[in-house]
Amino acid sequence: MTTTQLPEAAALLNPAFGAYILSHSAAAYAAAATEPESHLPWPSAFLVLPLVLPPDSRSALPRDTRTQLAGWLADNTMIRAAFPQRAPALHAYTQGCIRFGIRHGTLALTGGGLRATRKPAKPDSSQPAGEAATCVRAAVLVGRWFAATDTATLFTLLGVRP
């Protein structure tokens, strides 16, 4: 990794940015869920960042949820194979992001899971689409996918255990 890449990597692994991404995913989950007042299940919150932050998985994500998660994983076997290592590697970071989001009032932990306390702000559309915008788009897609998939099935598809 070159020195010019380090500031962007540091920005992507900032707890505030992770909380921002999780709030987009939780809001998308709630909007797409079939039951009212649904929240992103607590265990599923730990699967969002390992799918959204790595550039290879983020760039491979489809444009919308017409592509099913299971089909996408079947087409992206390298990402599926790497996920069992990525999820535990980002566990502590995800915990820190959730704590940051709760402390700053953007996330709340309820009996039903993680929820965005307010509609998250979208990235500045006047700026060219950069890493932040692509991460937000990916987080929204992942939130919608998770709402359409049972939590146990989700873990099985991704090859991890809670």
Torsion angle (degrees, nearest 10) of CA 69, 70, 71, 77: 100
In degrees, to the nearest 5, what angle opens at C-alpha 28 toward C-alphas 23 and 30?
95
Q: What is the pTM of this model?
A: 0.88
User: Is 50 a member of any domain?
Assistant: yes
Instruction: Determine contact, residues 139/28, Cβ cutoff 8 Å.
Output: yes
pLDDT at 125 over 90: no
User: Is 118 a member of any domain?
Assistant: yes
User: 16: closest CA among 87, 118, 93?
Assistant: 93
Instruction: Determine contact, residues 65/140, Cβ cutoff 8 Å.
Output: no
67 Cβ contact partners less than 8 Å away, ≥ 6 residues apart:
none
Report the helix count and the strand count for the chain, using DSSP H and E.
9, 2
User: Is 25 a member of any domain?
Assistant: yes
Note down the domain range covering 51. 10-158
User: Is 1 a member of any domain?
Assistant: no
User: Is 2 a member of any domain?
Assistant: no
User: Is 64 a member of any domain?
Assistant: yes
Average pLDDT over residues 44-50: 97
Return the pLDDT at 129: 62
User: Is 3 a member of any domain?
Assistant: no
What is the total count of domains within the chain? 1
User: Is 56 a member of any domain?
Assistant: yes
Average pLDDT over residues 26-44: 92
